Amino acid sequence: MKLRLLLLLLVLVLLAGAAVVVVLTSTNAPTSRDRYDVKRFFALLRTSPETPQSATDRTNVNNIRVVDPHAQPTKTQLVSRQSGLWVVSTEDLLCISQRRGAACEPPEVAARRGVLLGTFQPPSKRHLKPNAFQLQGLVPDNVNNVLLIVGKRRLVADVRRNIFSVEQDKPVHLLRLLPN
């Protein structure tokens, strides 16, 4: 999206001259954050924020920097102490993060299709193949279940507090969000 906007801006500058640049850059165009208040779409984010207390929690939250090295959390919400899953908002992204990774989407994308994080354990001496495939997702309020594919079978997973989490011995793929 940003690339298209930059290309359009470049074309306009070439066609109309430098005066257009002053006019375009001096406007306060709405950002995705202005257009998408993520709290409208995710009940989980309408609760009081939680601050990461332990070093492990801080590491889990800071994993969003793998996706965007400059990301600064503006709100953090612990989903599960057991899994270490956090929902993290930044100025431009909505993320889910845990010890094995992080995934982020712009708010307008997250509001439509959620944020998905897939992880697995790589092969080891004990397990010769990848294993412990996990798919976790933050989905909008109107989604009660998700339809997944594991191997050749379909599986319906429940959504609780905007979150679903499934761990299987084969890769897990999201097929569809199932609204109310």
Q: Is residue 107 part of a domain?
A: yes
Q: Three-class SS of residue 20?
A: helix
Binning pLDDT at 50, 70 and 90, where does residue 92 land?
very high
Please give the Cα distance from 143 to 68 (Å, whole number): 27
For the chain, what is the domain count?
Answer: 1
Q: Is residue 20 part of a domain?
A: no
Please give the Cα distance from 117 to 137 (Å, whole number): 6
Q: Is residue 147 part of a domain?
A: yes
Mean pLDDT score, 17-24: 27
Q: Is residue 77 part of a domain?
A: yes
- Assess whether pLDDT exceeds 80 at residue 28: no
pTM, whole model, 2 decimals? Answer: 0.77
pLDDT of residue 3: 40
* pLDDT tens digit sequence for 35-52: 568 899 999 999 999 999
- Assess whether pLDDT exceeds 50 at residue 19: no
Indicate the burial class of 178 (C-beta count within 10 angstroms; 0-12, 13-18, 19 or more): middle
Q: Is residue 22 part of a domain?
A: no
Q: Is residue 50 part of a domain?
A: yes
Q: Provide the residue range defining the domain that includes 137.
A: 36-179
CA 125 to chain centre: 33
Q: Is residue 45 part of a domain?
A: yes
Mean pLDDT score, 132-151: 96
Q: Is residue 25 part of a domain?
A: no
